[in-house]
Amino acid sequence: MAKKRAIIIGAGPAGLTAAYELLRYPDWQPVILEASDRIGGISRTERYHGNRIDIGGHRFFSKSRKVTDLWLSLLPPQGAPACDDRLLGRTAFTGDGPDPEQTDPVMLERRRVSRIFYRNRFFDYPVSFSRRTIAAMGIGRTCAAGLSYLRTALLPRRERSLEDFYINRFGRALYRMFFEDYTEKLWGIHPSAIAPDWGRQRVKGISIAALLKRKLLPGGNRKVETSLIESFWYPKFGPGQLWEKMAEEICRRGGEIRLNAAVTGIRAEHGRIAAVQVAGDAAEITGDVFFSSMPVCDLAAAMGSALSPEGREIAAGLPYRDFITVGLLVPRLKLRNRTGMPTVNG
């Protein structure tokens, strides 16, 4: 019996995971079409003169046990300290996982440190009411931030935008210090033009009220929000190592990954996708089902007349963010460690 073909556009985490999961069923054969010459999308790890550079700061953490189990089935968690663990005095590893000094396919457990750089100083994120924070802000700004929050607490805004969401939880002063410019730079849209649901999903339980509760009440609120994780998994050779490993498994199990295969056309028949066209290839690629992880605007453009003129116009106007990463290779960073955590270089 011939296998059913699943055509998957894009070899990023979404496309690779779709193919990997399909291979659990023996009657399916996934074929991944990737426009570039690399797999992993923006989760890949570039290699330059023996150096590995993460394209994005990707932590591996999920509240879904199924997702975590998938990651750790490909790269098992460390069962012994790595070299930097020993230098930093981290030795609390249990289980029968591999020794990262002896094997490469391994997940390292690392603590999270997130900070905001503002007025030439680093602030903890999420914002905390520590003496270090108050000293960095100064008494004047701290008092102004406190009064600003009290005003908002007494007269909360109707939440019609992400701006309203942030101001209600932090006050206008802290919103302008830490959230307004950062959000607009990150997403290319001012917070006043973003729906408040985004904040409820990304920020969740972080607020001045929640910080005060954790600081002042006995025991505080120990529920860990997704945005407040203290540790995460990280592949020994960077995020790209996990997706490279998954790609190897896909090919080993009978799946196919075609690089430099940019999808430029999509043909539909009777309301269903029938085939795709790849740049430089005269023959169409047919399949039984189709998955797409390409940008929606590019997907709509490739569909041509299969999509209504209104749909194509809307899709063409959808913005999506890109970025430029600059990697600097230096022998030593002349930065002082103010994280409260030990470092190898002191």
* Tokens (6 digits) for 229: 């994780």
pLDDT of residue 224: 47
Give me the residue label for tokens 């054969």.
Answer: 29
Lowest mean pLDDT among 115-124, 182-191, 228-237: 115-124
pLDDT (tens digit, 9 = 90+) per residue, 286-312?
A: 999 999 999 888 999 999 888 889 998
Alpha helices in 253-337 (DSSP H): 296-303, 309-316
If you write DSSP's letter for every residue of 143-210 in order, what string do you get? HHHHHHHHHHHHSPPP-SSHHHHHHHHHHHHHIIIIIHHHHHHHHSS-GGGS-THHHHHHTTT-SHHH
pLDDT of residue 345: 43
Of the chain, the percentage scoring pLDDT greater than 70 comes to 86
Q: How confident is the model at residue 227 (pLDDT cuts 50, 70, 90)?
A: low
- Write the CB contacts of 208 (distance below 8 Å, at least 6 apart in sequence): 149, 169, 170, 171, 174
For residue 343, give the amino acid letter: T
Inter-residue contact 49 to 330 (CB < 8 Å): no
Half-sphere exposure of 234 (CA within 13 A, CB side): 16
- Average pLDDT score over the chain: 85
pLDDT at 156 over 70: yes
pLDDT of residue 30: 97
What span, in angstroms and rounded, lies between the C-alpha atoms of 16 and 41?
10
pLDDT of residue 266: 95
What span, in angstroms and rounded, lies between the C-alpha atoms of 322 and 324?
7
**Backbone phi, psi, residue 302, to 5°:** -70, -25
Is 182 buried (19+), middle (13-18) or exposed (0-12) by CB count in 10 A?
Answer: middle
SS3 249: helix
- Per-residue pLDDT, averaged over 205-226, amounts to 54
What span, in angstroms and rounded, lies between the C-alpha atoms of 160 and 267?
40
Inter-residue contact 74 to 242 (CB < 8 Å): yes
Rounded to 10 degrees, the C-alpha dihedral 212/217/222/225 comes to -20
Inter-residue contact 137 to 116 (CB < 8 Å): no
Spell 226-261 as b/e; 16+ CB within 10 A means b: eebeeebbbbbbbbbbbbbbbbebbeeeebebeeeb
- Per-residue pLDDT, averaged over 267-273, amounts to 90
